[in-house]
Amino acid sequence: MATYAIGDIQGCFDSLQRLLAQCAFEPATDKLWLVGDLVNRGPRSLETLRFVRDLGGAALTVLGNHDLSLLMSAEGFGKPGKGDTFDDILQAPDRDELLDWLRHQPLCHVEGEYCMVHAGLLPQWTAVRARALAAEVEAVLIGDNWREFMANMWGSEPASWQDDLEGWPRLRVIVNAMTRMRFCSPDGVMNFRVKGEVANAPAGCIPWFDVPGRRSADSVLITGHWSALGLKVMSNLLAIDSGCLWGGSLTAIRLDDRAILQVQCSPEEIRVG
């Protein structure tokens, strides 16, 4: 039995299948941990979503920003992204079942020494605290007023965490940190304007995982989201979005021994621009 953590798929279904073949993945005995962004920008989001859903207990995924964008778009909220490619899901005969399944997936998963989240954690949060905060969002996502949450989730403010935040602003900060953050100030003010390489960090900001004294440093964070960062393996960080969609590779790390397995993106899946 092996557990494989896999980076952002984003509809690159062919690359996923080749990577699973390289891993000799067996659903009956092995586990997949997926860092989110199952869909969008790649050519086969529908097949990807159906495949992961049908794996049942053999796969565990957290929600990424593109997964949440799909849920928002399905309800008519948010701003359409340039180059969105999830119309195949929205027009599928089983769209309601797929979207309902996606809505029930966690925002953060904590197990043993590991904490898996799509983007990152604010410096004030331990993994245990992050899991509790994620549960607040998850409860709303599966609750009766989840559509109202979709209508209020979009936006980059507030840009930092305060324990006394309430209502939609509180949930928005949790979602933004866990699904969108790359850079923040040492005291946890997020900056969403810059998406590129670490060398292009905005003034006063550093990568979230480099914040001195961040309280999640005693856990191993498994993340994706940051393709410009590339594969980054540290004692307490496995950042595994290696930019498959942009012509890079799709990466799996076998958690049992930290072996790295990769496949190059299929030519027909590469997105330009």
pLDDT 10s digits, 128-180: 999 999 999 999 999 999 999 999 998 999 999 999 999 999 999 999 999 99
pLDDT of residue 231: 98
pLDDT in tens, 18-61: 999 999 999 999 999 999 999 999 999 999 999 999 999 999 99
CATH of the domain at 222: 3.60.21.10
Q: Determine which of 12-26, 66-80, 101-115, 245-259 has the lowest per-residue pLDDT on average.
A: 66-80
**Cα–Cα distance measured from residue 271 to residue 154, given in angstroms and rounded to the nearest whole number:** 25
Number of C-beta neighbours around residue 12 at 10 A: 27
pLDDT of residue 136: 98
Question: Residue 213: which residues within 8 A CB-CB, separation 6 or more?
Answer: 123
Say yes or no to pLDDT of 273 above 60.
no
99: nearest Cα among 148, 38, 24? 38
Residue-number span of the structural domain to which 202 is assigned: 3-269
- Distances in Å between the Cα of 188 and the Cα atoms of 86, 123, 148, 210 are 33, 6, 27, 11
pLDDT of residue 272: 62
Q: Which residue has the tokens 């590339």?
A: 230
User: pTM for the full model?
Assistant: 0.97
**How many structural domains comprise the chain?**
1
